[in-house]
Amino acid sequence: MSHLLSRPQTPDDIGCIQRITPQSANWGYVGFEVYTLQPGQTLTQPTEGTEVCLVLMTGKADVSTGQETWSDIGERTTIFEQQPPYAVYVPPRDEYRVTARTELELAVSRAPAEGKYPARLIKPEELQYITRGEGTNERRVCNILFNDIPAEKLLVVEVFTPNGNWSSYPPHKHDTDAKPNETQLEETYYHRLNPSQGFAFQRVYTDDRSLDETITVEDKGVVMVPEGYHPVGAPHGYDLYYLNTMAGPERTWIFHNDPAHEWMLKS
């Protein structure tokens, strides 16, 4: 199995099925976890030295921090409804408490931070989908914590790729601190498939091919992208969703296309 792939585990005693840390990924910024909680189950975690973005993938919950409380949030019964999620931003040196009202799938994105911004609720009506690409390169993107939605390091976005289409394509990378041409960002992809028995392919490769892996990823798998280009393909019959978490020295997303494949953007 590729060292860039994390397969889901059976929920532990706090419901965790995925846990990526900077230590386990051998990088410096991104942490990512997924929890599946049963109705009435509560998850309480400190943020410590990280800012956190909680994404309610599916289900309803009560969410609180040290200063704020939001009751009965969450609307989606499936992530493939293609409606924006509820999310909660939590600053460092705080904690979050999530109590599931229904079965809940909760994604937790983390990155180091100082504490410049307060906890806040991000509502679906604040978010929107945009369409990128065309033909078999078309996908729909929802920026959850991005651009003018403030945070210190974190960038969080979800993408729907129809079956038979490609995404993160043409291949691009963001692994070099070379602003204004490129910025350095680590990234995780949390993949979901519909129907769930499906699979997708993701290639991660560098210009010199010192890293060059093609990964078969199944439902609820996480692909880690420490460097390199990272296109994704969804086979016929299986719609693909993924949640991206990115972070690096600077919260700016500037990517560099693989020159060998950039021609298709000009055709």
CATH at residue 22: 2.60.120.10
pTM of the model: 0.97
171: three-class secondary structure by DSSP: coil
By the 8 A CB rule, do 25 and 224 touch? yes
* Angle at alpha carbon of residue 125, lines to 231 and 123, rounded to 5°: 85
Domain holding 111, by residue range, is: 5-265
Report the chain's mean pLDDT, rounded to a whole number: 97
Which pLDDT tens digit goes with each residue over 197-249?
999 999 999 999 999 999 999 999 999 999 999 999 999 999 999 999 999 99
Q: Are 99 and 54 in contact (CB under 8 A)?
A: no
pLDDT in the model for residue 42: 98
150-190, pLDDT tens digit by residue? 999 999 999 999 999 999 999 999 999 999 999 999 999 99
For the chain, the domain total comes to 1
Region 59-64 average pLDDT: 98
| pLDDT, greater one: 186 or 82 | 186
Confidence label for 1 from pLDDT (cuts 50, 70 and 90): confident
Tell me: pLDDT of 267 over 80: no
In what helix (H) or strand (E) does residue 22 lie, and over which residues does it extend?
Answer: helix 22-25
Residue 264 — φ and ψ, nearest 5°? -70, -20
